[in-house]
């Protein structure tokens, strides 16, 4: 009886530890990849100035999904990689000065989960 009292709470705890991260993660997982992303020039002027995102270390044959969090908008776009696993993308700034948070994702496994590959920030003045 004592063993049963100890086993049940342990099973419940382990189940919770497995279920909570799977639920909280939604459709995103984190990666220990060696992918990188950088923005240039950084800083850059607001009001429609161009900037380039570039990086390497991405999985060949898989699109790189880019998310740019601006103060008044969130931009989603996708770009392919070259034969070396590198990507390059030109974008334009919005009207408001701010720090943009930029993340790149790839769908590494089946299904819809996106794996965070790299992130950076861009200072828009």
Burial of 52: CB neighbours in 10 Å, binned 0-12, 13-18, 19+: middle
Domain ranges of the chain: 27-124
Q: What tokens appear for 72 in the block?
A: 């008044």
User: For residue range 18-73, what is the model confidence (pLDDT) as tens digits?
Assistant: 333 333 344 444 555 699 999 999 999 999 999 999 999 999 989 999 999 998 89
Q: What tokens appear for 113 in the block?
A: 């989960």
pTM higher than the cut 0.75: no
- Which CATH architecture fits 27-124? Sandwich (2.60)
**Residue 102: C-alpha distances to residues 4, 18, 75, 123 (Å):** 50, 29, 9, 11
């Amino acid at each position: 009886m004592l063993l049963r009292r100890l086993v049940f709470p342990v099973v419940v705890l382990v189940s919770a530890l497995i279920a909570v991260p799977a639920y909280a993660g939604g459709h995103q997982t984190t990666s220990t990849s060696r992918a990188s992303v950088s923005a240039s020039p950084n800083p850059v002027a607001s009001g429609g100035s161009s900037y380039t995102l570039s990086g390497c270390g991405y999985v060949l044959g898989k699109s790189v999904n880019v998310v740019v969090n601006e103060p008044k908008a969130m931009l989603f776009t996708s770009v392919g990689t070259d034969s070396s696993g590198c990507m390059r993308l030109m974008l334009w700034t919005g009207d408001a000065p701010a720090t943009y948070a930029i993340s790149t994702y790839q769908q590494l496994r089946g299904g819809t989960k996106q794996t965070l590959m790299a992130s950076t920030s861009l200072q828009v003045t």
